[in-house]
Amino acid sequence: MQFPAKMIHSLFLVNSSGDIFLEKHWKSVVSRSVCDYFFEAQERASEPENVPPVIPTPHHYLISVLRHRIYFVAVIQSEVPPLFVIEFLHRVVDTFQDYFGVCTEAAIKDNVVVVYELLEEMLDNGFPLATESNILKELIKPPTILRTVVNTITGSTNVGEQLPTGQLSVVPWRRTGVKYTNNEAYFDVVEEIDAIIDKSGSTITAEIQGVIDACVKLTGMPDLTLSFMNPRLLDDVSFHPCVRFKRWEAERILSFIPPDGNFRLLSYHVSCQNLVAIPVYVKHNITFREGSSQGRFELTLGPKQTMGKGLEAVLISSQLPRGVLNTNLNPSQGTYNFDPVTKLLSWDVGKINPQKLPSLKGSMSLQAGASKPDENPTINIQFKIQQSALSGLKVNRLDMYGEKYKPFKGIKYMTKAGKFQVRT
């Protein structure tokens, strides 16, 4: 018998080899055979990440996310907003990571009872109940080696006996009675640049996804304000619920009572219209000649618009055409590797020295007699730029109200490559 169920009915965790290693039902039990439809889709998909996130079955819908090589498959039976489900699954993943340090099959199995308690606490009748990690930690204490030992000796439990204080206050994200001996507030401005560069080196699209992640360890109920030198850059932002939106609208100042610990204060998006600076360029020459079993490969990297900061941790990867049997390349610095099975070329460049540009040159051997490959490989670049936010975003000042002590404050900037692709 089926019950009309709103919201999330069940959750299955599936590992990369296709085994269900955990199931949780919030309503009636749904047979795990429902996952067969998921497995079918998984089989059809060429890559693990190509499994469609929403799969219809005769009586249910399966909504899944792939994180840390585990599929989190939610079963729903009636009209439920898919984003709601996906966001909830993300929260589950984040919580596991937060509790166990890693979100792996082993970690979940090692803590299965806590996992079960958490899932029960996070969802009631398919409605999310407590998903803030601050609240959850008051309800169910994260396992630590020390606590496990203590619990075994004293027989005490890792379940909180008290109603979490934040649960119903106006600031549900913060617990009360927080105490620290060292009061500190650190903010990381991290920007990722996504870009597509075409053959000739001109930018097709470029956009910046930025986040401000915070680590706030402050006693009591601090009220913080954060202002920027150039707040106009932030016209497309998503805030943590703690941010007072009205104040931002009116004064462009972030005013908030922070959650305790690590949290994402805001994320923002700077789109191509604002002319994003491209910090790196690639000169490439990858050619195959018809009728020849050799191809040429030349790659040179150089810095561009980096605002005086150096490019670090540069890593190049490229999927070479299937016809390439092997490569014989010479890197001017770093190490390179070509996997003849997956045809993946990767080159760990390291730091770029503007005086001596790194290059990778040589030849590729092709299958004899085969026609020249049709597709042109795309080059993926990863890099980091320390102490700089590419968009130019700068924090002006950080102030604290409501508490007497003087906290340590710190702001760090970093730029990373997101999906940075160069077509050849």
Partner 1 sequence: MTDSKYFTTTKKGEIFELKAELNSDKKEKKKEAVKKVIASMTVGKDVSALFPDVVNCMQTDNLELKKLVYLYLMNYAKSQPDMAIMAVNTFVKDCEDPNPLIRALAVRTMGCIRVDKITEYLCEPLRKCLKDEDPYVRKTAAVCVAKLHDINAQLVEDQGFLDTLKDLISDSNPMVVANAVAALSEIAESHPNSNLLDLNPQSINKLLTALNECTEWGQIFILDCLANYTPRDDRESQSICERVTPRLSHANSAVVLSAVKVLMKFMEMLPKDLDYYGTLLKKLAPPLVTLLSAEPELQYVALRNINLIVQKRPEILKHEMKVFFVKYNDPIYVKLEKLDIMIRLASQANIAQVLAELKEYATEVDVDFVRKAVRAIGRCAIKVEQSAERCVSTLLDLIQTKVNYVVQEAIVVIKDIFRKYPNKYESVIATLCENLDSLDEPEARAAMIWIVGEYAERIDNADELLESFLEGFHDESTQVQLQLLTAIVKLFLKKPTETQELVQQVLSLATQDSDNPDLRDRGYIYWRLLSTDPVAAKEVVLAEKPLISEETDLIEPTLLEELICHIGTLASVYHKPPSAFVEGSRGVMHKRLPARTGSGEGTECPDVGNAAGGSAPEAAPSIIPSQGDLLGDLLNLDLAPPTTPAVLLPLLGGDIGGSPAMGAGFGAAPAVMPASLNAPVGGGLGDLFDLGGGVGMPMGAYIPPKTVWLPAMKAKGLEISGTFARRAGVIQMELVLTNKAMSVMTDFAIQFNRNSFGLAPAGPLQVLTPLGPNQTIEVSLPLSTVGPVMKMDPLNNLQVAVKNNIDVFYFSCQYPISMLFVEDGKMERQVFLATWKDIPNDNESQFQIQDCHLNSEAASNKLQGSNIFTIAKRTVEGQDMLYMSIKLSNGIWVLAELKVQAGNPNYTVSSGTRRDR
**11: closest CA among 99, 76, 105?**
76
Query: Which of 15-23, 183-191, 250-258, 399-407 is the region at the interface with partner 1 (rule: CB under 8 A)?
Result: 15-23
Among 17, 43, 146, 155, binds partner 1 (CB under 8 A): 155
Window 313 to 342, contacts with partner 1 (CB under 8 A): 319, 322
Among 74, 114, 389, 400, binds partner 1 (CB under 8 A): 114
First CA to last CA distance, the chain: 57
Tell me: does residue 146 bind partner 1 (CB under 8 A).
no
Tell me: does residue 370 bind partner 1 (CB under 8 A).
no
Tell me: does residue 201 bind partner 1 (CB under 8 A).
no
- Residues binding partner 1: what is the number (CB under 8 A)? 112
Window 32 to 71, contacts with partner 1 (CB under 8 A): 32, 45-47, 49-50, 52-54, 56, 59-61, 63-66
C-beta of 77 vs 333, nearer to partner 1: 77
What amino acid is encoded at 360 in this protein? L
Cβ-contact 92, 107 below 8 angstroms:
no
Coil, helix or strand at residue 309: coil
Among 15, 25, 395, 416, binds partner 1 (CB under 8 A): 25
Coil, helix or strand at residue 99: helix
Q: How far apart are CA 331 and CA 329, in angstroms?
A: 7
98 Cα distance to chain centroid: 14
Report the run of H or E that residue 253 belongs to, with start and end.
Answer: strand 253-256
Question: Minimum Å distance from CB 59 to partner 1?
Answer: 6
Tell me: does residue 262 bind partner 1 (CB under 8 A).
no
Query: Which of 124-132, 179-187, 277-285, 389-397 is the region at the interface with partner 1 (rule: CB under 8 A)?
Result: 124-132
Q: How far apart are CA 328 and CA 151, in angstroms?
A: 59
Q: Is 401 exposed, middle or buried (0-12, 13-18, 19+ CB in 10 A)?
A: exposed
Cβ-contact 15, 69 below 8 angstroms:
yes
Cβ-contact 365, 324 below 8 angstroms:
yes
Window 381 to 420, contacts with partner 1 (CB under 8 A): 419
Question: Minimum Å distance from CB 159 to partner 1?
Answer: 4
**Torsion, Cα of 334, 339, 340, 342 (10° steps):** -140
Among 144, 148, 305, 337, binds partner 1 (CB under 8 A): 148
Q: How far apart are CA 283 and CA 304, in angstroms?
A: 12
Question: Minimum Å distance from CB 32 to partner 1?
Answer: 6
DSSP-derived pairing of the beta strands 408-423 and 184-197: parallel
Among 15, 68, 82, 215, binds partner 1 (CB under 8 A): 82
Give the residues across from 211 on adjacent strands. Answer: 190, 267
How would you list the strands of the sheet with 20-25, edge to edge?
Answer: 20-25, 8-14, 70-76, 61-67, 54-56
Among 209, 227, 287, 365, binds partner 1 (CB under 8 A): 209
Question: Minimum Å distance from CB 116 to partner 1?
Answer: 6
Angle at 329 between CA 323 and CA 332, to 5 degrees: 150
Query: Which of 179-187, 231-239, 297-305, 353-361 is the region at the interface with partner 1 (rule: CB under 8 A)?
Result: 231-239
Tell me: does residue 113 bind partner 1 (CB under 8 A).
yes
C-beta of 43 vs 49, nearer to partner 1: 49
C-beta of 36 vs 184, nearer to partner 1: 36
Question: Minimum Å distance from CB 224 to partner 1?
Answer: 17
Among 40, 184, 236, 339, binds partner 1 (CB under 8 A): 236
Question: Minimum Å distance from CB 218 to partner 1?
Answer: 21
Window 90 to 109, contacts with partner 1 (CB under 8 A): 90, 106, 109
Question: Minimum Å distance from CB 270 to partner 1?
Answer: 11
